Amino acid sequence: MVKTLLLTLTHYHILRFISAAGPTTRSELAARIGLSKAAMSGLTRELLDADLLCETSTVQKQGRPSALLDLCPHGAYFVGVSMVSDPALMALVDFRGAIVSRVKIERNLDPEALAGVVSDALPILLGKAGIPKSLVQGMGVTVSGLVDHEQANIIKSTLLGWQDVPLAKYVHQQTQLPTFIENDAKTLAVSERLFGEARDRHSFSLIWLGEGIGAAHFVHDRLHRGAHGGAGEIAHCTIDLDGLPCRCGKVGCLDTVASMIAILDMARAEGLKAETLNDIEVLAASGSSVAIRLLHRAGSALGLAISQIIQINDPQMIVVTHRESRFDGLFATVMHQTIEANVLPRLAGVTPIKTRRVADEDWAIGAASVATHSFLNGLI
């Protein structure tokens, strides 16, 4: 519960609308949500009193000033824990997705011990920001791996060596906060939907180009999970029928050609001195035919996989996320060209392809946004 207000479905609807649309006037809210102006005025007053909304500025509407309402950053806070980085990062994030405090914690690989670490760090995190625990609505934890529909259990995480781990239960027992677990790429997609470029998009796909390749898809405003939680995981789409063995047991998966582990392994095997994608880009720019071939192959494989997502889902936007300091070299160019060349001409050029660098703290914001998303959908 927020302050003294018991939120109704209509309150959540208003908050979700503003979260997606940005600052909005009462009359526009009334028209878009289908309520009278008087009813909307009462509901927004309740949300203002609960500090979940605030008036940001005024606009002139038909000659009269109208106040714009936005989410109040100080009305609700969420904790995000990123298990993607080591040490793990824990952040306190406000209602608009800004970090207000952060603390690095041990990435303990014993799930119950980790819950204790998180619980011990919570008062430190809150103390740094001077925020009472009563304003924290929930916690999100992001991990690489497969997470169940309830966002409670980790079905399998190769990186953490976990299988069937009820982490949400452990963390909740220790912190008493509603806790939601989410996979890494899905975490970034939720964050992008709430606070990023996909804020006003109801259907989009996000690709995470990391050591492995992740993908997540919002379809009609819902994270599409599929029947078994593995929907749209493009890493193990076969891209080369005669390709290399993959860690999943198949051969020729996208992961064996275009993941950062694969690209760097192939570069080293071919005698290139490269620690990052950018190192290979520099070699390619200086004329290394090996570097050019590797980047071409990886960029076209990823582009081909993305073109198939566009053909299958026809999303409003694709966001390619990565860790690289630069993402404008041969790899990205070939990826873009391959996408354009392999979608139907009708779809060519109509799907914006955005790229975005992800830093350590983006994972913690993303984890918190998973809890924010649950809150806005009335699940807390």
User: Segment contacting Zn ion (CB under 5 A): 46-54, 194-202, 238-246, 298-306?
Assistant: 238-246
Angle between helices 330-342 and 277-285 (to 10 degrees): 90
Work out how close the CB of 246 gets to Zn ion at its nearest, in angstroms, rounded to a whole number: 3
CA-to-CA distance for 278 and 168, rounded, in angstroms?
37
CB atoms within 10 A of CB 325: 9
CA-to-CA distance for 324 and 339, rounded, in angstroms?
20
Work out how close the CB of 229 gets to Zn ion at its nearest, in angstroms, rounded to a whole number: 16
Interface with Zn ion, residue 185, by CB under 5 A:
no
Work out how close the CB of 247 gets to Zn ion at its nearest, in angstroms, rounded to a whole number: 6
Interface with Zn ion, residue 13, by CB under 5 A:
no
Helix, strand, coil % over all residues of the chain, rounded to 5: 40, 25, 35
Work out how close the CB of 238 gets to Zn ion at its nearest, in angstroms, rounded to a whole number: 8
* Closer to Zn ion by Cβ: residue 211 or 361: 211
Interface with Zn ion, residue 246, by CB under 5 A:
yes
Measured CA distances, 227 to 154, 214, 232, 303 (Å): 16, 18, 11, 26
- Return the residue of 105, 253, 305, 335 that touches Zn ion, per CB under 5 A: 253
Nearest to 297 by CA among 308, 305, 309: 305
Work out how close the CB of 266 gets to Zn ion at its nearest, in angstroms, rounded to a whole number: 16
For residue 105, the cross-strand partners are 88
DSSP characters over 117-157: HHHHHHHHHHHHHT--GGGEEEEEEEESSEE-TTS--EEEE
User: Segment contacting Zn ion (CB under 5 A): 243-251, 265-273, 310-318, 371-379?
Assistant: 243-251
CA-to-CA distance for 286 and 284, rounded, in angstroms?
5
Sheet containing 64-71: give its strands across: 24-25, 64-71, 53-61
* Closer to Zn ion by Cβ: residue 182 or 233: 233
* Closer to Zn ion by Cβ: residue 169 or 250: 250
Tell me, residue by residue from 138 to 177, as one string, x for binding to Zn ion by CB under 5 A and - for no binding: ----------------------------------------
* Closer to Zn ion by Cβ: residue 16 or 250: 250
Residues from 198 through 237 that contact Zn ion (CB under 5 A): 236
* Closer to Zn ion by Cβ: residue 248 or 344: 248
Interface with Zn ion, residue 248, by CB under 5 A:
yes
CA-to-CA distance for 60 and 55, rounded, in angstroms?
14
**Residue numbers at the binding site for Zn ion (CB under 5 A):** 236, 246, 248, 250, 253
